[in-house]
Amino acid sequence: MSRSEIVLETRGLAMHFGGVKAVDRVDFSLWDHELRCLIGPNGAGKSTFFKCLTGQLVPTAGSVVIRDVHVAGREPHEVAALGVGIKTQVPNVFNGLSVEENIWLACRRWHGPARSRSLTAETLERLQLGDIRNEMVESLAHGQRQWVELGMVVAAEPWLVLLDEPAAGMTHDETVRTAELIREINRTATLIVVEHDMQFIRMISNKVTLFHEGRILMEDTMEAISVDPKAREVYLGTRA
Amino acid sequence: MRLSLDFRGTVIVAILGVIFLLAAPEIFAKVTIIKLNVPIALAILALSLALVWGFGGILCFGQTAFFGLGAYAYSIAALNFGGSTWAILVAVLVAAAVAALLGYVIFYGRVSDVYLAVITLTVTLILYSLMRRTSGPDYKIGDALLGGFNGVKSPKINLPWDSGETLSRIELFYPAFAALILAYLVCGWLVRTHFGRVCVAVRENELRAELIGYDTRLYKLGIFVVGAALAGLAGVLFCVGVTRVTPDVFNLYTASLTIIWVIVGGRGTLIGPILGAFGLYYLTEWLGKTASINNNLILGGVLILFVLLVPKGVVPTVTDWVAERRGARAMRARERRMRMRRSRAGSGDPEDRA
Amino acid sequence: MDLFFAVALQIVYGIANLALISLGLAIIFGMMRVINLAHGEFIMLGGYTVVVATNEGVNIWIAILVLAPLVVGIFGVIVERLLIRWLYGRMVDTLLATWGLSLLMIGLVTTIFGASTATTISPPLGVISIGEFTSSGYEVFLILVTVALLVLVWAVLKFTKLGLVARGTMQNAEMSEALGVSTSRIYMITFGLGAAVSGLAGGLLAPITGVLPTIGAVYIAKAFITVISGGMAILAGTTSASVLLGGVNGIVDFLTGPTIGEVALLVTAIILLRLMPRGITGTWFRNKL
């Protein structure tokens, strides 16, 4: 990669809940076309940090800049409007609507009726959801719901994709497919993926950011981190 | 998306409505037709809540606030203008404007659903107690005395081009029922537009709608205002139908009724609450004549019963039951086909792949 | 100077009144996240208990302080067992079902007692004078009882075993269950106590307002606004919201009249919720009772 620019940056980002410092003065940088994973034990602050990026939380302090736009404290729809696709930890989908309609709504936000229809069909193809296009999302299995949500995210053709635990609760085969999907998305977009599953992370990423107690402990490749003694200590008890 | 199929259903209902509009005055007695004007107005009120709550997911317990504001605004305006045409417009605009203001504060303040329900209920109750205190010559707007308990006399609707020609109570039936049919069609169309689908999405999962990029506050405000305008129109027809508007349009009983129509008729449908309004109106009338059971008792019992046992309401429960029977029949047909295929498989059916 | 005291007393009375009618609802809402739309009718029931009892010859103080809370408390327990407990976690359905209950209660009372006041009873304790102004001695009594009640509830929550268990259940029901607490029983007791407090409020107010089957509607509106503005903390919320809203109501009432006073209360509450969507104690005083 030549002449890569920083597309997302946080400076001194902090999120306090009462006395708890869930995110504690984090400086973070993300380069164009990266596929960065955020890892760390439970309570390390990864998801809280994530929510500060998406507009779901208003940071207590610090700044979040996405391609020169300050987004800290903005509404989620304003962040989305910058071309950011967001998938939340618990799948947030439209349960009472069909798979097709879920994805159509994501397309229709940014495109006219004709383009939306074709984009919806393409996305259904791409995520292999064609067979269940008319099913109500609430009747789908967990893994399929995650893919519907993923479909909604990519349908809008975002340049920056933020995923919070995309492989959670999936079978091994589903995890492999999700990893393929994510690598495919990475061909055109920049990604941040928050994850727990070490195997999954190895399947997708190069650079990894390790969170601990609200701060960034280290940033390196997965290989380097798995042999680092400090990192192993932090992750004591987790299968590496 | 099975939308176009659903809209056919809506159109069929509307056509049935038009048939009724033309046939009813020939079939039924004059008195019956005149009496229909009240439940027609109530049905439009029910429709407005079906839109706002059933489709928009906005828990408005005080829809009567806009209903009553429409009725009062019409009556006061008509008395001052000397004619009804502009008064109707004023009434709808007043209801919409108040909704816009209240909605702005509530939705842009991200007040939770449950609080919204209670706040809107409180608004209608406060309007009730407010209007009851307006007796006396000091309380008037222009030429119209507010009248406290007794309310304001509601002038008849006149033809737009001739303020001398007013509609008699039986003539009122035509524009009233036509308004109901039109409102029903418009609402049916609205929920199928992009705007309408987004409102439904917001109801399903507001966060996801936001993350896709929709400003959900705007959509909620939009459908809230449309619902309020419709309720205001219902208010106009109501007060003209009963010849005056009193503070009772705002009271707890009326507010309860609107909720019950939607619960009993079925949230998520437009026709359900309309039928609920007609049904409950005639039920309470009939019970009032035959048994001497207090209305509140009946309504309370009905509400509790439905919440515990028939939470989806009548229309969706019936359509679910029908779909299930059809589904069960289809399932049996499919199983029959599969059994036949399996027996053919023994003789090398081309359908099987090695 | 006398005018000042007389007006101040009125305003304090207004605040106490608001706190009194809200406390029962706050207990149920704060502990169980249940919004009981029949709350006004529980108050009404307390009022009817007092009127009926005194007409039968029961001493008025016993009727107000013992009978009213007892009757309504027991009624509350029955309601919880028969209706509320099927709907935990379903906030909207609870709202609707309690709305149905409220209509049912109005209907029942109307059927039994008729639509207009049974008989009114006059407030005991006569009149007290502040210079050239007179105030009702009963109003002063009511203020004192309200304060005593708030202190009592606080004491029960803070110092008794029941209070501790209840608070634990309120914060983490699953944990409480795991520790062997029957959360079902706690909810039943809590609802009953909240109902009893509402009954007491109704009993106390009966001599002042008289009783009608429909009087509940007046209380619901104000109680709700107060509880929601107050936020989750039962006592801190009710007290702070009552002081703020009751104060505004009282002052505006004095300046312009009761009509505008009520509107001022609603507007203040709406502005408050706009600025603090979780109520006063959702933003400040967060871990207070």
pLDDT band at C220 (very low <50, low <70, confident <90, very high): confident
Contacts of C262 in chain B (CB under 8 A): 126, 129-130
Q: What is the pLDDT of residue C127?
A: 67
Choice between B70 and B354, residue whose per-residue pLDDT is larger: B70
Closest CA to A73 of A82, A64, A86: A64
| Spatial separation of the C-alpha atoms in residues A238 and A131, rounded to whole Å | 37
Would you state the structure tokens that stand for residue A76, as one six-digit string?
A: 């989620």
Q: What is the pLDDT of residue A1?
A: 44
Q: Smallest CA–CA separation between B118 and chain C, in Å?
A: 7
Q: Smallest CA–CA separation between A29 and chain B, in Å?
A: 22
Question: Contact A50/A57 with Cβ under 8 angstroms?
Answer: no
pLDDT band at B347 (very low <50, low <70, confident <90, very high): low
Q: How many residues does chain C have?
A: 289
What subunits touch chain A, counting only 3 or more CB pairs under 8 A?
B
Does an H or E element contain A79, and which?
A: helix A76-81
Which of B118, B259, B298 is closest, CB to CB, to C96?
B259
Q: What is the 3-state secondary structure (H, E, C) of C193-235?
A: HHHHHHHHHHHHHHHHHCCCCCCHHHHHHHHHHHHHHHCCCHH
Mean pLDDT of B39-52: 96
Q: For the segment B121-132, what is each residue's pLDDT rounded down to a tens digit?
A: 888 988 988 888
Q: For the segment C240-272, what is each residue's pLDDT rounded down to a tens digit?
A: 999 999 888 888 888 887 777 778 888 888 888
State whether B211 and A134 contact (CB < 8 Å): no
pLDDT band at A170 (very low <50, low <70, confident <90, very high): confident
State whether B200 and A97 contact (CB < 8 Å): yes
The one-character DSSP state at A35 is E
Choice between A159 and B332, residue whose per-residue pLDDT is larger: A159
| Spatial separation of the C-alpha atoms in residues C124 and C53, rounded to whole Å | 15
- Mean per-residue pLDDT of chain C: 84
Contacts of A88 in chain B (CB under 8 A): 207-208, 211
Give, rounded to a whole angstrom, the gap between the first and last alpha carbons of chain C: 37
Q: Smallest CA–CA separation between A43 and chain B, in Å?
A: 23
User: Cα separations (Å) of C260 from A58, B100, B124, B203, C223?
Assistant: 37, 22, 15, 35, 18
Q: Does residue B191 belong to the interface with chain A, where contact is any CB pair within 8 Å? A: no
Q: Buried b vs exposed e over C61-79: b needs ≥16 C-beta within 10 Å?
A: eebbbebbbebbbebbbeb
Q: What is the pLDDT of residue A182?
A: 92
Contacts of C225 in chain B (CB under 8 A): 118-119, 122
Q: What is the pLDDT of residue B2?
A: 42
Question: Contact C175/C168 with Cβ under 8 angstroms?
Answer: yes
Q: Does residue B110 belong to the interface with chain A, where contact is any CB pair within 8 Å? A: no
Q: What is the pLDDT of residue A2?
A: 45
| Spatial separation of the C-alpha atoms in residues A208 and A201, rounded to whole Å | 9
Q: For the segment C119-153, what is each residue's pLDDT rounded down to a tens digit?
A: 666 776 666 666 666 677 788 888 999 999 999 98
Q: What is the pLDDT of residue A236?
A: 60
Q: What is the pLDDT of residue C56?
A: 85
Share of chain A above pLDDT 90, in %: 56
- Mean per-residue pLDDT of chain B: 87
Would you state the structure tokens that stand for residue B299, as one six-digit string?
A: 């309504």
Mean pLDDT of A60-85: 93
Choice between B352 and B67, residue whose per-residue pLDDT is larger: B67
Strand positions, DSSP E, chain B: 140-141, 144-145, 152-153, 158-159, 162-166, 244-245
pLDDT band at B3 (very low <50, low <70, confident <90, very high): very low
Q: What is the pLDDT of residue A240?
A: 47
Would you state the structure tokens that stand for residue C80, as one six-digit string?
A: 């919880």
Q: Smallest CA–CA separation between B337 and chain A, in Å?
A: 21
Choice between B126 and C42, residue whose per-residue pLDDT is larger: C42
Which of A76, A77, A95 is closest, CB to CB, to B204?
A95
Residues of B with CB under 8 A from a CB of C: 59, 61, 105-106, 109-115, 117-119, 121-123, 125-126, 128-130, 133, 251-253, 256, 259, 263, 293-305, 307-308, 311
Q: For the segment B153-212, what is each residue's pLDDT rounded down to a tens digit?
A: 888 888 887 777 888 888 889 999 999 999 999 999 999 999 999 999 999 999 999 999
